Amino acid sequence: MTLLGGLDYASVLVFAAAGSLAASRAQLDIVGFAFVACLTAVGGGTIRDLLLDRSIFWMANPTIILIAVSVALVVFFTAHLLESRLKTLEWLDALALSVAVSAGTGVAILEEQPAVIVVLLGIVTGVMGGLMRDVVCNEVPLVLKQGELYASAAFAGACATLLATRSGLSPLLTLAACTALTFALRAGSIRFGWSLPTYKSRPPRL
């Protein structure tokens, strides 16, 4: 298995768990769990591959869908054991975001895309699965929540990939730097309330 293939597997596994927890909060049935888990797990990677006009990763390797469905089944029968499904979902999503951004930027670099496209595809791979999940589950998408370090964390991680690549670091260290920075920023937002400034009109308008 290649490094990028391993990252895709890891992001699918963790995103599927996060999607399943979102399904549990929405009180969906077991089919709904499987659907949301798969949508969350492969959504970002699918858009990435479509934009790059390459084989869609889960169609080339259908085992990925089986993994997502298996995770959904496990969470369906165990989610009630968690003390806080929302908090667990947030941390799983932070981890999945970090890994998916690494996978997205790594694939874009492998396809010899320019720097801007590398960054954009890293962000797309990281955030789109979670965005689809939140829309389907009738939640305000995390990427749009006021001040949240989400897409901005993905942006920073993708930029770190470019800098590390140009510094001559090995692919493993490059993708590790991307994952670490993305997760650190997202974790800071969850744990310490780190946020971006939000627009406020003066004087306030309705």
**What is the average pLDDT score of the chain?**
93
Asked whether the beta carbons of 174 and 161 are under 8 A apart, the reply is yes
Q: Residue 91: enclosing H or E segment and its boundaries?
A: helix 85-110
Give the C-alpha separation, 133 to 155, whole Å. 20
Each residue of 62-77: pLDDT tens digit? 999 999 999 999 999 9
At 32, list the tokens.
């709904």
- In this prediction, residue 59 carries a pLDDT of 95
- In this prediction, residue 203 carries a pLDDT of 66
Query: What contacts 90, CB < 8 A, 6 or more positions away?
Result: 190
Asked whether the beta carbons of 20 and 78 are under 8 A apart, the reply is no
Please, what is the end-to-end C-alpha distance for the chain in angstroms? 55
Tokens 């927890």 belong to which residue? 21
Q: CA 189 → CA 76, 124, 147, 154, distances in Å?
A: 28, 20, 9, 13
Percent residues over pLDDT 90 in the chain: 80
Q: Which amino acid is at 57?
A: F
- Please check the confidence at residue 206 and state whether its pLDDT lies above 60: no
- Please check the confidence at residue 201 and state whether its pLDDT lies above 90: no
Q: Using the 8-state DSSP alphabet, how is residue 137 labeled?
A: T
Q: Using the 8-state DSSP alphabet, how is residue 130 labeled?
A: H
- Length reported for the chain: 206
What would the mean pLDDT of 51-71 be, rounded to a whole number? 95
At 171, list the tokens.
């692919």
Q: How would residue 163 be classed by pLDDT, with cut points 50, 70 and 90? A: very high
Give the C-alpha separation, 163 to 71, whole Å. 35
- In this prediction, residue 4 carries a pLDDT of 83
What would the mean pLDDT of 7-16 be, rounded to a whole number? 93
At 43, list the tokens.
């959504």
Asked whether the beta carbons of 71 and 37 are under 8 A apart, the reply is yes
Q: How would residue 184 be classed by pLDDT, with cut points 50, 70 and 90? A: very high
Each residue of 90-118: pLDDT tens digit? 999 999 999 999 999 999 999 999 999 99
